[in-house]
Amino acid sequence: MVSEHDIDRAPADDTAGDAAGGAGSGTPSAARAAGGAVDPKVVAAIAAAEAAGPASGETVRIDSWIWAVRLVKTRSVGATACRGGHVRVNGERVKPAHSVRVGDEVRLRHEGRERIVVVKRLIRKRVGAPVAAQCYVDNSPPPPPREAVAPIGVRDRGTGRPTKRDRRELERLRDLERLRDAGGLGGRPRER
């Protein structure tokens, strides 16, 4: 467990992490140098993640790492993404057992979005979101904006059962939406 006393003094190996990771490397001295306060819970979680991480010289599988840093929900989804060619490390498609190193650029296409991250820390076990964010640098483009339009066919809560007229309007809207999606908005009317 990391105490406040441990946070205030800078250990010898902490300076090496600052040189490699820069001011945002997630180490306590880096956070102090950046002028930010360090949350003791986050520091303790980072220490636990480092303790559970690989020993020096050991490696971590890419499917395990993208799961541990919460880029995918399960390790099997990560392995499937690797086998499907949706994961690239330094520009090359990789298999699930590919070893990832600090400094590698990982590109992951998942759920209609491409995530581009640079590995800062190797971890093997899944950690909380604040700690996971400290293990990589996110260079991803911003996510596409969500549509502000309410989905068709959703009624306000408490309005009760739709009348016959309401139901016919909903069906008409659904037909228009279906035609628009199919690209056939402007041809002959559908036969029933």
Model pLDDT for residues 166-179, shown as the tens digit of each residue: 889 888 888 877 77
57-138 homologous superfamily: RNA-binding S4 domain (3.10.290.10)
Give residue 89's pLDDT.
96
Query: What digits encode the pLDDT tens for the residues 43-95?
Result: 887 777 777 677 777 789 999 999 999 999 999 999 999 999 999 999 999 99
User: Would you say residue 109 has pLDDT above 70?
Assistant: yes
Domain boundaries, the chain: 57-138
136: DSSP letter: E
pLDDT 10s digits, 5-41: 444 433 334 433 343 333 344 444 444 444 456 778 7
Q: Give the residue-averaged pLDDT of 162-166.
A: 88
d(CA 58, CA 47): 18
Q: For residue 48, what are its two tokens?
A: 């636990």
How far is the C-alpha of 106 from the C-alpha of 97, rounded, in Å? 14
DSSP alpha helix (H) spans, the chain: 4-8, 12-21, 28-33, 40-52, 62-68, 75-83, 129-133, 164-182
User: Which band of pLDDT confidence, cut at 50, 70 and 90, is reported for residue 185?
Assistant: low
Q: Name, in order, each residue with C-beta under 8 angstroms of 48's C-beta and a sequence gap of 6 or more.
A: 127
The answer to whether the CB of 90 falls within 8 A of the CB of 105 is yes
Q: Within its chain, how far is the Cα of 25 from the centroid?
A: 18
Select from 54, 50, 52 the least CA-distant residue to 6: 50
Tokens of 104: 């590698």
Q: What is the pTM of this model?
A: 0.57
